[in-house]
Structure 1
Amino acid sequence: MNLTFLPVTQSDADVLVSIRIAAMRESLERLGRFNAQRARDRFLASFDPDLCRFIEADGVRVGFFQIRPHQDHWQLDHLYVEPEHQARGIGAAVLRQIIADADSQNMSIRLGALRSSDSNRFYQRHGFEQTGETEWDIYYVRHIRTLRPDNL
Protein backbone atom coordinates (compact mmCIF):
# COMPACT_ATOMS: atom_id res chain seq x y z
CA MET A 1 0.00 0.00 0.00
CA ASN A 2 1.33 3.41 -0.97
CA LEU A 3 0.32 6.10 1.54
CA THR A 4 0.51 9.80 0.76
CA PHE A 5 -0.33 12.69 3.08
CA LEU A 6 -1.69 15.72 1.24
CA PRO A 7 -2.25 19.29 2.42
CA VAL A 8 -5.69 20.48 3.43
CA THR A 9 -7.20 23.93 2.91
CA GLN A 10 -9.98 25.76 4.71
CA SER A 11 -12.26 24.97 1.75
CA ASP A 12 -11.89 21.23 2.55
CA ALA A 13 -13.71 21.61 5.89
CA ASP A 14 -17.04 20.19 4.65
CA VAL A 15 -15.34 17.13 3.14
CA LEU A 16 -13.46 16.53 6.40
CA VAL A 17 -16.65 16.89 8.44
CA SER A 18 -18.31 14.28 6.21
CA ILE A 19 -15.43 11.86 6.72
CA ARG A 20 -15.49 12.42 10.48
CA ILE A 21 -19.25 11.88 10.71
CA ALA A 22 -19.09 8.72 8.60
CA ALA A 23 -16.25 7.31 10.71
CA MET A 24 -17.83 8.15 14.08
CA ARG A 25 -21.54 7.69 13.39
CA GLU A 26 -21.85 4.09 14.53
CA SER A 27 -20.01 4.71 17.81
CA LEU A 28 -22.00 7.86 18.52
CA GLU A 29 -25.27 6.08 17.78
CA ARG A 30 -24.34 3.30 20.25
CA LEU A 31 -24.04 6.00 22.92
CA GLY A 32 -27.25 7.70 21.80
CA ARG A 33 -25.18 10.83 21.06
CA PHE A 34 -25.24 11.12 17.28
CA ASN A 35 -25.99 14.67 16.20
CA ALA A 36 -24.59 15.75 12.83
CA GLN A 37 -24.58 19.44 13.73
CA ARG A 38 -22.75 18.85 17.02
CA ALA A 39 -20.19 16.65 15.22
CA ARG A 40 -19.66 19.43 12.68
CA ASP A 41 -19.36 22.15 15.31
CA ARG A 42 -16.90 20.16 17.44
CA PHE A 43 -14.67 19.50 14.45
CA LEU A 44 -14.71 23.08 13.20
CA ALA A 45 -13.85 24.39 16.68
CA SER A 46 -10.44 22.68 16.52
CA PHE A 47 -9.84 22.52 12.76
CA ASP A 48 -6.57 24.01 11.56
CA PRO A 49 -5.82 23.30 7.89
CA ASP A 50 -2.09 23.89 8.46
CA LEU A 51 -2.02 20.95 10.91
CA CYS A 52 -4.27 18.62 8.95
CA ARG A 53 -3.48 16.16 6.14
CA PHE A 54 -5.59 14.04 3.83
CA ILE A 55 -4.68 10.37 3.74
CA GLU A 56 -4.41 8.82 0.28
CA ALA A 57 -3.94 5.07 -0.08
CA ASP A 58 -2.86 3.97 -3.54
CA GLY A 59 -4.12 7.25 -4.99
CA VAL A 60 -7.55 7.16 -3.31
CA ARG A 61 -8.45 9.71 -0.63
CA VAL A 62 -9.54 7.60 2.35
CA GLY A 63 -9.36 9.81 5.44
CA PHE A 64 -7.43 12.48 7.31
CA PHE A 65 -5.53 13.27 10.47
CA GLN A 66 -4.61 16.39 12.42
CA ILE A 67 -1.68 16.74 14.79
CA ARG A 68 -1.36 19.76 17.06
CA PRO A 69 2.23 20.24 18.25
CA HIS A 70 2.88 21.39 21.81
CA GLN A 71 6.17 22.08 23.53
CA ASP A 72 6.37 18.65 25.19
CA HIS A 73 4.00 16.45 23.14
CA TRP A 74 1.90 16.10 20.00
CA GLN A 75 -1.88 16.08 20.31
CA LEU A 76 -3.49 13.78 17.77
CA ASP A 77 -6.78 15.64 17.42
CA HIS A 78 -8.18 13.57 14.56
CA LEU A 79 -7.45 10.32 12.75
CA TYR A 80 -10.32 9.07 10.63
CA VAL A 81 -10.53 6.53 7.86
CA GLU A 82 -13.78 6.27 5.91
CA PRO A 83 -15.74 3.14 6.90
CA GLU A 84 -15.45 1.51 3.47
CA HIS A 85 -11.64 1.69 3.76
CA GLN A 86 -11.36 0.51 7.36
CA ALA A 87 -9.98 -2.89 8.44
CA ARG A 88 -7.35 -2.81 5.67
CA GLY A 89 -4.40 -1.64 7.76
CA ILE A 90 -4.57 1.96 6.58
CA GLY A 91 -5.14 3.49 10.02
CA ALA A 92 -2.40 1.32 11.51
CA ALA A 93 0.06 2.33 8.79
CA VAL A 94 -0.76 6.01 9.29
CA LEU A 95 -0.42 5.72 13.06
CA ARG A 96 2.91 3.89 12.74
CA GLN A 97 4.20 6.79 10.61
CA ILE A 98 2.93 9.36 13.12
CA ILE A 99 4.58 7.41 15.95
CA ALA A 100 7.88 7.15 14.07
CA ASP A 101 7.82 10.89 13.36
CA ALA A 102 7.00 11.70 17.00
CA ASP A 103 9.76 9.41 18.26
CA SER A 104 12.27 11.04 15.91
CA GLN A 105 11.33 14.41 17.44
CA ASN A 106 11.37 13.05 21.03
CA MET A 107 7.67 13.77 21.44
CA SER A 108 5.02 11.77 23.23
CA ILE A 109 1.55 11.62 21.64
CA ARG A 110 -1.70 12.37 23.45
CA LEU A 111 -5.23 11.76 22.20
CA GLY A 112 -8.80 11.17 23.22
CA ALA A 113 -11.20 8.54 21.92
CA LEU A 114 -14.95 8.22 22.23
CA ARG A 115 -15.75 5.76 25.03
CA SER A 116 -17.71 3.26 22.90
CA SER A 117 -15.43 3.43 19.88
CA ASP A 118 -13.39 0.52 18.53
CA SER A 119 -10.56 3.05 18.32
CA ASN A 120 -9.83 2.46 22.02
CA ARG A 121 -8.57 -1.07 21.32
CA PHE A 122 -6.76 0.24 18.21
CA TYR A 123 -4.78 2.81 20.21
CA GLN A 124 -4.03 0.37 23.04
CA ARG A 125 -2.65 -2.13 20.50
CA HIS A 126 -0.28 0.61 19.32
CA GLY A 127 1.19 1.26 22.76
CA PHE A 128 -1.08 4.01 24.06
CA GLU A 129 -1.81 3.96 27.79
CA GLN A 130 -4.97 5.32 29.36
CA THR A 131 -4.44 8.49 31.38
CA GLY A 132 -7.99 9.52 32.22
CA GLU A 133 -11.61 9.51 31.22
CA THR A 134 -14.77 11.55 31.23
CA GLU A 135 -18.37 10.57 30.71
CA TRP A 136 -17.89 10.36 26.93
CA ASP A 137 -14.15 10.10 26.23
CA ILE A 138 -11.07 8.10 27.23
CA TYR A 139 -7.67 9.81 27.10
CA TYR A 140 -4.37 8.19 26.18
CA VAL A 141 -0.65 8.88 25.93
CA ARG A 142 2.09 7.10 24.07
CA HIS A 143 5.39 7.92 25.66
CA ILE A 144 8.54 8.58 23.69
CA ARG A 145 10.30 5.45 22.49
CA THR A 146 13.96 5.91 21.77
CA LEU A 147 16.50 3.42 20.52
CA ARG A 148 19.10 2.63 23.12
CA PRO A 149 22.53 1.46 21.93
CA ASP A 150 21.79 -2.05 23.25
CA ASN A 151 18.64 -2.18 21.03
CA LEU A 152 20.49 -1.43 17.78
Structure 2
Amino acid sequence: MIEVEGAFAGCVALRPAGNARSLEHFYLTPSLQGEGIGSAVLRALLARCDRGGDVVRLNVLRGSAARRLYARHGFTVETEDCVDVFMVREPVRA
Protein backbone atom coordinates (compact mmCIF):
# COMPACT_ATOMS: atom_id res chain seq x y z
CA MET A 1 0.00 0.00 0.00
CA ILE A 2 1.25 3.47 -0.85
CA GLU A 3 0.41 6.28 1.56
CA VAL A 4 1.00 10.00 1.22
CA GLU A 5 0.61 12.09 4.37
CA GLY A 6 -1.21 9.20 6.04
CA ALA A 7 -3.80 8.79 3.28
CA PHE A 8 -4.18 5.97 0.76
CA ALA A 9 -2.41 6.95 -2.48
CA GLY A 10 -2.11 3.66 -4.36
CA CYS A 11 -0.73 0.15 -4.30
CA VAL A 12 1.95 -2.04 -5.81
CA ALA A 13 2.95 -5.70 -5.59
CA LEU A 14 6.39 -7.19 -6.14
CA ARG A 15 6.29 -10.96 -6.06
CA PRO A 16 8.67 -13.82 -6.80
CA ALA A 17 8.20 -15.18 -10.32
CA GLY A 18 10.58 -18.02 -11.12
CA ASN A 19 14.10 -16.61 -11.33
CA ALA A 20 12.86 -12.98 -11.28
CA ARG A 21 10.45 -10.62 -9.55
CA SER A 22 7.15 -9.55 -11.06
CA LEU A 23 6.00 -5.95 -10.58
CA GLU A 24 2.19 -5.95 -10.59
CA HIS A 25 -0.82 -3.85 -9.68
CA PHE A 26 1.10 -0.56 -9.59
CA TYR A 27 -1.62 2.06 -9.26
CA LEU A 28 -1.40 5.63 -8.05
CA THR A 29 -4.38 7.90 -7.42
CA PRO A 30 -4.77 10.03 -10.57
CA SER A 31 -4.63 13.32 -8.64
CA LEU A 32 -1.14 12.34 -7.39
CA GLN A 33 0.27 11.21 -10.71
CA GLY A 34 3.05 13.38 -12.13
CA GLU A 35 4.25 14.45 -8.67
CA GLY A 36 7.23 12.08 -8.51
CA ILE A 37 5.58 9.70 -6.07
CA GLY A 38 5.47 6.77 -8.50
CA SER A 39 9.13 7.30 -9.37
CA ALA A 40 10.10 7.37 -5.70
CA VAL A 41 8.21 4.14 -4.99
CA LEU A 42 9.68 2.46 -8.07
CA ARG A 43 13.24 3.58 -7.16
CA ALA A 44 12.87 2.06 -3.69
CA LEU A 45 11.55 -1.24 -5.01
CA LEU A 46 14.23 -1.47 -7.71
CA ALA A 47 17.01 -0.66 -5.23
CA ARG A 48 15.89 -3.63 -3.15
CA CYS A 49 15.87 -5.84 -6.25
CA ASP A 50 19.33 -4.58 -7.26
CA ARG A 51 20.72 -5.50 -3.84
CA GLY A 52 19.33 -9.02 -4.28
CA GLY A 53 20.52 -9.29 -7.89
CA ASP A 54 16.91 -9.75 -9.05
CA VAL A 55 15.62 -9.30 -12.59
CA VAL A 56 12.25 -7.51 -12.62
CA ARG A 57 9.52 -8.13 -15.18
CA LEU A 58 6.20 -6.39 -15.76
CA ASN A 59 3.56 -5.87 -18.36
CA VAL A 60 1.86 -2.61 -19.25
CA LEU A 61 -1.04 -1.92 -21.58
CA ARG A 62 -0.05 -0.80 -25.06
CA GLY A 63 -0.35 2.97 -25.30
CA SER A 64 -0.14 3.49 -21.52
CA ALA A 65 1.82 6.52 -20.32
CA ALA A 66 3.25 4.27 -17.58
CA ARG A 67 5.52 2.72 -20.21
CA ARG A 68 7.60 5.93 -20.24
CA LEU A 69 7.98 5.73 -16.45
CA TYR A 70 9.27 2.19 -16.67
CA ALA A 71 11.64 3.04 -19.53
CA ARG A 72 13.11 5.91 -17.46
CA HIS A 73 13.88 3.37 -14.74
CA GLY A 74 15.75 0.98 -17.00
CA PHE A 75 13.03 -1.35 -18.28
CA THR A 76 13.27 -2.49 -21.89
CA VAL A 77 10.72 -4.19 -24.11
CA GLU A 78 11.02 -7.96 -24.07
CA THR A 79 7.98 -8.72 -26.25
CA GLU A 80 4.54 -7.35 -27.15
CA ASP A 81 1.14 -8.69 -28.05
CA CYS A 82 -2.01 -6.94 -29.24
CA VAL A 83 -2.86 -5.79 -25.68
CA ASP A 84 0.29 -5.71 -23.54
CA VAL A 85 3.95 -4.74 -23.66
CA PHE A 86 6.15 -7.05 -21.59
CA MET A 87 9.20 -5.33 -20.13
CA VAL A 88 12.27 -6.46 -18.21
CA ARG A 89 14.96 -4.77 -16.12
CA GLU A 90 18.25 -6.41 -15.25
CA PRO A 91 19.69 -5.61 -11.81
CA VAL A 92 22.08 -2.68 -11.62
CA ARG A 93 25.35 -3.62 -9.94
CA ALA A 94 26.80 -1.10 -7.50
TM-score over 0.5 for the pair = yes
Task: Give the number of the structure with larger relative contact order, counting CA–CA contacts within 8 Å between residues 6 or more apart.
Answer: 2
- For 1:108 and 1:58, locate their aligned partners in 2 and report how far apart those are by CA, in whole Å: 31
Q: Quote how far apart the aligned CAs of 1:84 are.
A: 0.9
Aligned to 1:82: 29
Once the two structures are superposed, residues 86-138 of structure 1 have per-residue CA deviations (whole angstroms, 9 ceiling, x without a partner) of 11111000000010010111101000000011011111011101000010110
Amino acid in the other structure paired with 2:93: T
- Secondary structure of 1:87 counterpart: coil
Structure 2 gaps, min length 5: none
Aligned to 1:119: 66
- For 1:103 and 1:112, locate their aligned partners in 2 and report how far apart those are by CA, in whole Å: 19
- For 2:54 and 2:28, locate their aligned partners in 1 and report how far apart those are by CA, in whole Å: 24
- For 2:18 and 2:87, locate their aligned partners in 1 and report how far apart those are by CA, in whole Å: 18
Q: Quote how far apart the aligned CAs of 1:57 are.
A: 1.6
Structure with the bigger percentage of strand: 2
Equivalent residue runs for 1:1-152 within 5 Å: 54-147=1-94
Once the two structures are superposed, residues 15-44 of structure 1 have per-residue CA deviations (whole angstroms, 9 ceiling, x without a partner) of xxxxxxxxxxxxxxxxxxxxxxxxxxxxxx
For these two proteins, the number of residue pairs brought into alignment is 94
Q: Quote how far apart the aligned CAs of 1:60 are.
A: 1.7
Structure with the bigger percentage of helix: 1
Aligned to 1:37: none
What's the RMSD between the two structures over aligned residues? 0.9
- Secondary structure of 1:116 counterpart: coil
Which protein is bigger by CA-based radius of gyration? 1
User: TM-score of the superposition, structure 1-length normalised?
Assistant: 0.60
- Secondary structure of 1:102 counterpart: helix
Structure 1 gaps, min length 5: 1-53, 148-152
